[in-house]
Amino acid sequence: MNKALAHSKDAYAAEKATAWFSYGDLYNVKGNKEKALEYYLKSLDIFQKTKSKPILLTVYDTLSSVYKSLNEIEKSNEFLRKYTILNDSINKNEKEAVNLAVNTLIDLKHEEKGKERKVFYFIVMIIVVSFGLLLYFIRKIYIKKVLRKDKILEKKTIETDVLKLKVNNSFDEIIQLMESRSPLFLMRFKEVHPEFYEKLITHTPELTEHDIKFSAYIRLNLTNKEICQYENISLRGIETKRYRLKKKLKLSSGTDLQKWILEL
C-alpha cells in the first residue's frame, strides 16, 4: 500500500481512491480511528465523482461506523442517512424498471407480434437479471463488511486494547503497584485511564471503590486466576464478583462483561 500511494500520481482516480480506502481499513483495524477517518474521507471525495453506488454504499457504511466509534453521533447519523437514501434509491429504481416492464407486457398482451414479444421478453429478462446481479453484489459487499466487523470485534478487540495498554509507558508501573498490593494502585490507574474512569462512573455513579478496582483488573485483561492471587479469594468468589458487577452495571445477560469494559 505504501508503494501504491507513492505511485498514486500516475494512477487513475478510482485506483487512487481504492488505495486510500485500503489504507483507512488498515488504520481502522489497528485502532487508529482518526487516521483511518482521514484516508476514508480522501477516498470518498473521489468515489463521489465516480458515482458508483455499490462502492458509495460501502464507504458511507464504513464512515458511519468509524464516527460512531469516535462518539461523533451526529456525523455517524449523517452518513447512515446517506447510506439509507442511496440504498432506497437503488431499490426504487429496480421497482420502477420492473413496473415499466410489466405495464408494457400488459399493453402487448392482445397484440399478435410474436417476434417483437420475444425480443421484449428478452429485454425484460436482461433488465431483471441486471438488477438482480446488482443487488447480489451490493448484498455481498454488505455481508462481507458485516462479517469483517464481527470478526474484528470478536477476535481482535481484546488483543488490540491490551496492546494499547502495554504500549503505554505507565502500564508496567500500574502492574507493579497491583502486584505489590499497593494502596496507590487504584489512584494511579485513575490517573492513567481518566476517560475510562469517567465513562464508568458516568454510566453507574453508585459504583464503590471496590467495584472500580475490580473493573480495573478486567480493564488490564487479568484472568480470573490472576485476580484470585491479588484478591486472595477463590475462583468461585471471582465469578460471583463478576456477576454482581455486571448486575450493578445493568448489562443484559447476553453482554460480555470483559468485552464491554475493554470497549468503554
**Helix, strand and coil in the chain, % to nearest 5:** 80, 0, 20
pTM (two decimals): 0.39
| Whether residue 259 sits in one domain with residue 177 | yes
| Whether residue 194 sits in one domain with residue 122 | no
pLDDT at 242: 93
pLDDT at 167: 45
| Whether residue 141 sits in one domain with residue 178 | no
Q: CA distances (Å), 90 to each of 82, 84, 95, 127, in order?
A: 12, 10, 9, 14
| Whether residue 12 sits in one domain with residue 104 | yes
**For residue 228, with 0-12 CB atoms within 10 Å meaning exposed, 13-18 middle and 19 or more buried, which class applies?**
middle
Asked if residue 56 lies in contact with residue 86, where contact means CB atoms within 8 angstroms, the answer is yes
Asked if residue 156 lies in contact with residue 29, where contact means CB atoms within 8 angstroms, the answer is yes
pLDDT at 245: 94
> 203: which 3 cell numbers?
454510566
pLDDT at 98: 56
| Whether residue 146 sits in one domain with residue 125 | yes
| Whether residue 122 sits in one domain with residue 28 | yes
Domain containing 137 — which CATH number?
1.25.40.10
Show which of 155, 189, 212 is a domain's final residue.
155
| Whether residue 112 sits in one domain with residue 136 | yes
pLDDT < 50 positions in the chain = 160, 163, 166-167
> Residue 197 and residue 140: Cα distance in Å, rounded?
40
| Whether residue 150 sits in one domain with residue 34 | yes
pLDDT at 14: 77
**Going by C-beta distance under 8 Å and a sequence separation of 6 or more, which residues neighbour residue 127?**
97, 98, 101
| Whether residue 142 sits in one domain with residue 52 | yes
> Residue 88 and residue 95: Cα distance in Å, rounded?
11
| Whether residue 210 sits in one domain with residue 122 | no
| Whether residue 195 sits in one domain with residue 146 | no
Range of the domain at 78: 2-155
| Whether residue 118 sits in one domain with residue 29 | yes
Show which of 117, 138, 155 is a domain's final residue.
155
pLDDT at 163: 47
> Residue 100 and residue 106: Cα distance in Å, rounded?
10
**How many domains are there within the chain?**
2
Show which of 155, 170, 199 is a domain's final residue.
155
